[in-house]
């Protein structure tokens, strides 16, 4: 059993008299595991792309706590400049969040598109939504996503010391108060508003991929190993969820 300190704890807080839900957490544990993952698999991003992925991980984590426990959600952003696909996915039941950036062989869109896919244990097909987003800031995308897909206002905030918060309006929300919120007001909401903590969930950066569950993907190449290996003794493949790298030999596939 992992120590609780290895997880980022997300609080779901109801603001009385304002009718708003605040999701908040301190993301250093998730970011620490993320950087250990990058070091282990020798993955390097530019500072800009690294920050985008970290912000997307934080935003999806907060959104997951605003949603029912059983949901698994994946977000993909297909951006024009920089040309990339930004992918994050996670679930409260699994207590995990992961993600990666694709920069090779990425289709160049004429606009920036954001895709959300939600699955539940009893659903036959995932629920999907697509929207056009402005800019390349995952924190700013949240309000655009909530307006269209969640059909309620929400605002996301970067706070001090790798803290983030998401404020989502509930029925009869005090919209004048909601629209006037800034980072300081959200940071100090405990002192200035009457609140009630509804629940706490925890998350870590974790994919769960293993060589054993990636190998079956290559089963169709058993009769074409010469073509697959092209004279090499080993090939390397990446996990599509977290970009972990695995070395594969002919004997493993056979």
Same domain, 117 and 242: no
Same domain, 101 and 12: yes
Give the angle subtended at the CA of 221 by the CAs of 216 and 222, to the nearest 5°: 85
Give the ranges where the chain is alpha helix by DSSP (H): 28-40, 47-66, 138-145, 175-180, 183-187, 189-192, 211-214, 225-229, 250-253
Same domain, 123 and 217: no
Q: Are strands 96-102 and 245-249 parallel, antiparallel or unpaired?
A: unpaired
pLDDT of residue 4: 44
For residue 245, the enclosing domain spans: 211-253
Same domain, 137 and 222: no
pLDDT of residue 5: 65
How many domains does the chain divide into? 2
pLDDT of residue 51: 97
Same domain, 194 and 114: yes
One digit per residue, pLDDT tens: the chain, 254 residues?
A: 444 468 999 999 999 999 999 999 999 999 999 999 999 999 999 999 999 999 999 999 999 999 999 999 999 999 998 899 999 999 999 999 999 999 988 888 889 999 999 999 988 889 999 999 999 999 999 999 999 999 999 999 999 999 999 999 999 999 999 999 999 999 999 999 999 999 999 999 999 998 888 888 777 777 788 888 887 888 888 899 999 999 888 888 77
Same domain, 215 and 100: no
What's the predicted TM-score (pTM) here?
Answer: 0.92
d(CA 177, CA 172): 12
């Amino acid at each position: 059993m992992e120590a609780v300190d290895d997880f980022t704890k997300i609080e779901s807080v109801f603001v009385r008299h304002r009718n708003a839900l605040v999701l908040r957490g301190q993301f250093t544990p998730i970011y620490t595991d993320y950087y250990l993952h990058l070091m282990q698999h020798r993955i390097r991003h530019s500072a800009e792309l690294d920050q985008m992925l970290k912000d997307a991980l934080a935003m999806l984590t907060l959104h997951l706590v605003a949603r029912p426990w059983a949901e698994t959600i994946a977000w993909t952003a297909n951006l024009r400049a920089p040309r990339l696909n930004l992918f994050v996915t996670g679930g409260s039941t699994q207590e995990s969040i992961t993600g990666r950036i694709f920069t090779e062989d990425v289709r160049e869109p004429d606009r920036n598109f954001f895709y959300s896919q939600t699955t539940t244990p009893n659903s036959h097909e995932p629920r999907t939504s697509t929207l056009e987003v402005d800019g390349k800031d995952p924190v700013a995308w949240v309000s655009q996503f909530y307006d269209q897909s969640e059909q309620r206002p929400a605002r996301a905030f970067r706070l001090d010391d790798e803290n983030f918060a998401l404020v989502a309006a509930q029925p009869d929300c005090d919209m004048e108060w909601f629209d006037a919120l800034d980072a300081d007001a959200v940071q100090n909401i405990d002192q200035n508003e009457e609140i009630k903590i509804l629940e706490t969930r925890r998350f870590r950066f974790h994919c769960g991929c293993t060589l054993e569950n990636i190998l079956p993907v290559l089963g169709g190449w058993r009769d074409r190993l010469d073509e697959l290996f092209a004279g090499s003794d080993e090939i390397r493949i990446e996990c599509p969820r977290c970009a972990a790298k695995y070395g594969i030999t002919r004997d493993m596939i056979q």
